[in-house]
Amino acid sequence: MATSEFKVEPYANFGSGEPWVARVLLQWQSVVNAVPAFGATRDRFHLAEGEVFETLGMAFQVLRKLREQVAGNAPGLELAESYASLYGYLWSAYKDRFQKAIRILGPDLGFFWDKDSKFENGAAALVSDHAEYSGLVDLMRLYRQNFHSALAYYRNSYLEHRQDEADPRMLQSFHRLEAAEDTFNKVWRSRLPRCSRFVRRPGWLWFRRVVTAGLLAALRRGRVRSF
């Protein structure tokens, strides 16, 4: 009798009861599966989305550890290590994994993650070629103002390319549990670039209008909601 080579092992001790899991992994798989135009790239996207999920999962595990450390008054060095690990995973998910996944579904929007001057040049070129993307570009700007630029600064000036002396105000703003929770939520809810893939598909203009209007309203209220 042949035996299976596969061994079932636990992967994570969290699941779809966490809102970010339901949205990142399950909701967007369902949406992509429902659109015939994505048939050729669907499998590649699901693999890339798995990497997004894995990296966010690592960040989530660190966040849960941080909750325990803060509640237990852990030493400062332990807290600093956890904050650095959390924001490192979040930046990897946001800057690298998200970008690769959305590129599979459509045109390259890499300028969204670039410096201000390159972002504006890329945004202008996009709107010049596709005027219907003007609302999307407004969303991009709001995301950058809402959390993107601050997270990039923390990563570049403290995590990866340490300046001679880190700005204590910057560290204080990030090294708080409330900030960690808020940044985690904003990163996984930053579905903007992926939403943009649907706006060019015939019959899905309603989707663009609903998502763009909803996200703009949420961001202007100072919070980002998932859709």
* Averages of pLDDT over each 10 residues, the chain, 227 residues: 68 84 76 70 83 93 97 95 95 90 77 89 89 82 85 85 73 91 91 46 41 44 41
Cβ-contact 171, 157 below 8 angstroms: no
The whole-number pLDDT of residue 86 equals 96
* Exposure letters 49-78 (e unless 16+ CB within 10 A, then b): bebbbbbbbbbbbbbebbeebeeeeeeeee
The whole-number pLDDT of residue 98 equals 87
The whole-number pLDDT of residue 218 equals 44
Structure tokens at 63: 């966040």
Alpha carbons 57 and 54: distance in angstroms, whole number: 5
The whole-number pLDDT of residue 4 equals 61
Q: What is the pTM of this model?
A: 0.76
Orientation of helix 116-129 relative to helix 134-143, angle to 10°: 160
The whole-number pLDDT of residue 153 equals 86
Alpha carbons 66 and 58: distance in angstroms, whole number: 12
